[in-house]
Amino acid sequence: MRVHVADHPLVTHKLTVLRDETTPSPTFRALAEELVTLLAYEATRNVRVSPVTVTTPVAEAHGLAIGDPRPLVVPILRAGLGMLGGMVKLVPTAEVGFLGMVRNEQTLQPDIYAERLPDDLANRQCFVLDPMLATGGSLIAAIDFLFDRGAVDVTAICLIAAPEGLEAVKKATEGREVTIVLGALDERLNERGYIVPGLGDAGDRLYGTV
């Protein structure tokens, strides 16, 4: 598993405002989109491309086009939806599929309650969006789901992760082509499975639920 933790003042600045409990939902939503755009730059480093030639007003230019089949972007509902706009801004030709997941706050086990993805993901590159990687249970379930459908590699973009969750994902995905791109790797999980210092419940903060 490849892990990349962004080390850039713009990312850290935006994350700092996102973490602040006084930041209201509209600002939180705007920042989540901006952050994913910055992280997507690294996450798409190995996106499949094919060579193309275009004609400029001066000469022929050899370049690249985002590959065929198109990458599949999968936001994990609810909170991952807050990252979708930023991702498709950067990769507008991507296909988008959805996975609805909720973590049982007593057992901390994830449950998949909705799915709208292509049946066959053979040979597809997938980009999973979820702001929080806490115990890792949700991301492991999402990655398993995509590989079971035939995906060949999965890159997850998360704004904040806990070391315990990152380790769990690493163990669970051994031997598979998995990349995790993070805005920050925080200190730990608390006794309720929340990331410390984290930002609280990302879904609630995005959508104003209290």
Ligand X SMILES: O=P(O)(O)OC[C@H]1O[C@H](OP(=O)(O)OP(=O)(O)O)[C@H](O)[C@@H]1O
Provide the annotated binding site: 78, 103, 130-138, 195, 200-202
Q: Which of 184, 203, 205, 206 binds Mg ion (CB under 5 A)?
A: 203
- Taking CB under 6 A as the rule, does residue 195 contact ligand URA? yes
How many of the other CB atoms lie within 10 Å of CB of 208?
11
Beta strand 72-77 with 125-129 is parallel
Give me the residues paired with residue 155 across strands.
127, 179
**Does 27 qualify as catalytic in the annotation?**
no
Beta strand 110-116 with 132-133 is unpaired
First to last CA, the chain: 36
Note whether 99 and 85 are within 8 A (CB).
no
Give the separation between CA 12 and CA 35, rounded to whole angstroms: 9
- Find the part of the chain contacting ligand X (CB under 6 A) among 3-11, 39-47, 95-103, 116-124: 95-103
Q: How far is the CB of 195 from ligand X (least distance, A)?
A: 8
- Find the part of the chain contacting ligand URA (CB under 6 A) among 20-28, 32-40, 47-55, 200-208: 200-208
Beta strand 188-189 with 195-196 is antiparallel
**Secondary structure letter of residue 56 according to DSSP:** -
Comparing CB distances to Mg ion, the nearer of 133 and 151 is: 133
Q: How far is the CB of 130 from ligand URA (least distance, A)?
A: 9
Site track 53-92 with ligand X (rule: CB under 6 A), x = hit: -----------------------x-xx-------------
Just list the catalytic residues: 103, 107, 201, 204
The residues binding ligand X (CB under 6 A) are 76, 78-79, 101-103, 108, 110, 130-139, 165, 193, 201-203
